[in-house]
């Protein structure tokens, strides 16, 4: 969804007395009053129900279960429209534990053939997450919500994202994997923390003497690409090791921006089992990293 930053800034000044800063405007909610009507119009233009055999994500870049739109009914109206006027399977991704509340569990159970639900969680440390993920449910609450959905028979997926390097300093990663209960998940997705324009904002959530603050400074402030490569590689190896031991490798989807992986670490990704390469040529599907392109070719030959 596109919007004018100038208009947003002016609206923020008019209503709040200050300009809009996406990194520091924790309590500011940007609402689009016509979003439901716009979706109705878009779906009305289709002569047949779209989406047969396809999946739509609700929602990938924003949280479709943000408290404000859950409370005012926007979330329910949008999902009802998708159920009634499309044939998409709906993949719900959220950080709001409300999806595990009795009313939402009943809703998803009623439409179990149309939904698969996941809660993004990258740590079991509520204190860590509270500093970083302001305005979201605590990881412990998200895990409980996921379990309620699973126990009710609602299709679910695990979303270990993003897993910060501090999680790899102990057995927290393995405990996190166990917490999402892969045996009940259709897929287990995971992703390392990737370079983003707001890394300084993320870093400033932590004490200057903390492991995470120091790591973010070295990797993004000082440009230590090798350290990020080692971290992303270690994360994959730890997850695939558990997946192999527990026999759910077919469920793993590890999102990897492989252009940042050093040549010396490429062999550690073996046959790319469970890896979804993100730095690929859209026309050919081949990685822009020559070393990973070689792995792709070997993997194809092995399958053939």
**Residue 189 falls inside a structural domain:** no
Q: Pick the residue with more confidence: 295 or 62?
A: 295
Angle at 24 between CA 213 and CA 203, to 5 degrees: 5
pLDDT at residue number 220: 95
**Residue 77 falls inside a structural domain:** yes
116-125, 172-181, 187-196: which range is least confident on average? 187-196
Q: With bands split at pLDDT 50, 70 and 90, how would you rate the model's confidence at 75? A: very high
pLDDT at residue number 8: 72
pLDDT at residue number 304: 40
Mean pLDDT over residues 275-295, rounded?
Answer: 96
Mean pLDDT over residues 144-152, rounded?
Answer: 99
Q: With bands split at pLDDT 50, 70 and 90, how would you rate the model's confidence at 27? A: low
Do residue 24 and residue 57 come from a single domain? no
**Residue 281 falls inside a structural domain:** no
**Residue 130 falls inside a structural domain:** no
- Which of 48, 193, 29 is closest to 122 using CA atoms? 193
Which domain-ending residue is among 52, 71, 94?
94
Interatomic CA distance for residues 138 and 276, integer angstroms: 28
31-35, 89-93, 94-98, 139-143: which range is least confident on average? 31-35
Range of the domain at 63: 35-94
pLDDT, tens digit, 9 for 90 and up, residues 260-282: 999 999 999 999 999 999 999 99
Which domain-ending residue is among 44, 76, 94?
94
Three-state DSSP state, 254: strand
Q: Pick the residue with more confidence: 44 or 10?
A: 44
Q: How many domains does the chain have?
A: 2
Give the tokens for residue 189. 């997705």
Q: With bands split at pLDDT 50, 70 and 90, how would you rate the model's confidence at 23? A: low
**Residue 58 falls inside a structural domain:** yes
Residue 5 has pLDDT above 80, yes or no: no
Do residue 49 and residue 75 come from a single domain? yes
Which domain-ending residue is among 77, 94, 111?
94
* Mean pLDDT estimate for the chain: 92
Q: With bands split at pLDDT 50, 70 and 90, how would you rate the model's confidence at 185? A: very high
**Residue 146 falls inside a structural domain:** no
Residue 164 has pLDDT above 50, yes or no: yes
**Residue 20 falls inside a structural domain:** yes
Residue 114 has phi, psi (to 5 degrees) of -110, -10
pLDDT at residue number 11: 73
pLDDT at residue number 197: 80
**Residue 122 falls inside a structural domain:** no
Q: Decide: pTM greater than 0.85.
A: yes
pLDDT, tens digit, 9 for 90 and up, residues 187-211: 999 999 997 788 998 999 889 999 9
Alpha-carbon distance values, 52 to 8, 75, 89, 90 (Å):
37, 22, 8, 11
Alpha-carbon distance values, 110 to 87, 152, 267 (Å):
16, 11, 46
17-21, 96-100, 107-111: which range is least confident on average? 17-21
Interatomic CA distance for residues 231 and 137, integer angstroms: 27
* Pairing mode of beta strands 185-192, 252-256: parallel
pLDDT at residue number 61: 79
Do residue 1 and residue 23 come from a single domain? yes
pLDDT, tens digit, 9 for 90 and up, residues 238-251: 999 999 999 999 99
Q: What is the DSSP annotation of 153-167?
A: T--EEEEEEEE-GGG
pLDDT at residue number 10: 77
């Amino acid at each position: 969804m596109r919007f004018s930053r100038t208009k947003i800034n002016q609206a923020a000044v008019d209503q709040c007395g200050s300009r809009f800063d996406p990194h520091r405007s924790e309590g500011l909610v940007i609402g689009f009053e016509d979003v439901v009507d716009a979706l109705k119009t878009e779906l009305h233009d289709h002569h047949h129900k779209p989406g047969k055999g396809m999946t739509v994500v609700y929602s990938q870049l924003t949280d479709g279960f943000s408290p404000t739109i859950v409370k005012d009914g926007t979330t329910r109206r949008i999902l009802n429209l998708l159920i009634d006027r499309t044939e998409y399977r709906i993949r719900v991704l959220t950080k709001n534990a409300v999806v595990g509340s009795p009313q939402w569990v009943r809703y998803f159970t009623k439409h179990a053939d149309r939904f698969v639900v996941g809660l993004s969680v990258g740590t079991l440390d509520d204190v860590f997450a509270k500093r970083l993920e302001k305005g979201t449910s605590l990881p412990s609450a998200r895990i409980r919500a996921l379990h309620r959905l699973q126990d009710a028979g609602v299709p679910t997926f695990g979303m270990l994202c993003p897993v910060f390097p501090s999680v790899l300093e102990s057995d927290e990663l393995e405990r996190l994997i166990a917490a999402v209960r892969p045996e009940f998940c259709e897929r287990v997705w995971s992703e390392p923390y990737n370079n983003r324009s707001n890394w300084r904002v993320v870093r400033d959530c932590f004490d200057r003497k903390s492991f995470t603050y120091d790591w973010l400074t070295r990797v993004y402030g000082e440009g230590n690409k090798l350290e990020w490569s080692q971290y992303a590689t270690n994360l994959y190896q730890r997850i695939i090791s558990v997946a192999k031991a527990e026999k759910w490798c077919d469920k793993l989807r590890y999102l990897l921006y492989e252009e940042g992986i050093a040549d010396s670490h490429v062999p550690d990704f073996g046959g790319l089992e469970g890896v979804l390469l993100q730095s690929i040529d859209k026309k050919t599907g081949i990685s822009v990293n020559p070393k990973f392109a070689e792995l792709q070719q070997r993997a194809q030959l092995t399958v053939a």
